[in-house]
Amino acid sequence: MLASTLLVALLLLAGCGRDDVLEWTEDVRLPDGRVVTLKRMVEFKGPQALGDTPTESFQRLEFRHPETGETVEWESHKEKGYLKTVAIWIRQGQPVLLLDPAYGDDKHKFNCPNPPYLLQEYVDKRWENKALSKIGIAEIRSNMTAHPKDQREAIARRKYRLTAEETSNSYIPYKGKEPVPYVISFVGASDQTFDVKNCFLGPDLDDLILKEAE
């Protein structure tokens, strides 16, 4: 009887863990055509709207550097501001991440950037913040899972393994219209500003998404 009770308790705990944590792998095609495999984990213990599920509170990813073989790790914590992963690529041997503060309170923690992106580069075994003006590319299509909360069911249907074709074929809803390819253009982009006023711009925020991308 005791053994059965313990078994039930363990099963219940395991179920709670599955509700709170999502783990999966995704193959990501870099702009130069190479493919890297990301091991990803997201924890869901963030604020939630009434009747909704918790938002993301922590995430971690790791991958093997395609040139050096080094294991590269990256994390994002809600306490410091949770970041959505938009795109990854390798620039002159250094991994680069394009990120987006996820929710309103996260945007405030990063002083409300406009355009709403942050750039980080892996240098000397640590991630460094870089000015968006140093991005060095004309445009990029999102090649990573950016919204794990919205994609949990889709990831589960794919048995927690996404192919490079799936991650590269990214779309995003835009202002209530039909989804458009998740392509961000930095050509002619204005200088980035950091100001609390930017957090209240709504549709006037310069998201740089190509609305007519094919």
The amino acid occupying position 23 is: E
Question: How many separate domains does the chain show?
Answer: 1
What pLDDT was estimated at residue 212?
64
54 occurs within a structural domain: yes
The answer to the question of residue 164 being in a domain is yes
| C-alpha Rg value of the chain to the nearest Å | 19
What mean pLDDT, rounded, does the chain reach? 88
Asked whether residue 182 is assigned to any structural domain, the reply reads yes
Which range of residues forms the domain containing residue 65? Answer: 11-204
CA distance 52 to 28: 30
2 within domain boundaries: no
Q: Is pLDDT above 60 for 213? A: no
Per-residue pLDDT tens digits for 19-72: 799 999 999 999 999 999 999 999 999 887 777 888 899 999 999 999 999 999
Contact between 113 and 193 under an 8 Å Cβ cutoff? The reply is: yes
User: Residue 37 falls within a domain, yes or no?
Assistant: yes
**12 has pLDDT over 90:** no
- In a domain, residue 213? The reply is no
Q: Are 48 and 37 in contact (CB under 8 A)?
A: no
* pLDDT number for residue 8: 42
Which residues touch 112 (CB under 8 Å, ≥6 apart)?
194, 195, 196, 197, 198, 199
Q: Give the H or E element holding residue 19.
A: helix 2-20
pLDDT digits (tens, 9 = 90+) for 124-156: 999 999 999 989 999 999 999 999 999 999 999
Quick check: is 214 in a domain?
A: no
Q: How confident is the model at residue 203 (pLDDT cuts 50, 70, 90)?
A: confident
Residue 11: pLDDT band (50, 70, 90) is very low
| Cβ(78)–Cβ(56) below 8 Å | yes
- Residue 165 binned pLDDT confidence (cut-offs 50, 70, 90): very high
Share of the chain above pLDDT 90, in %: 74
Flag whether 35 is in a domain. Answer: yes
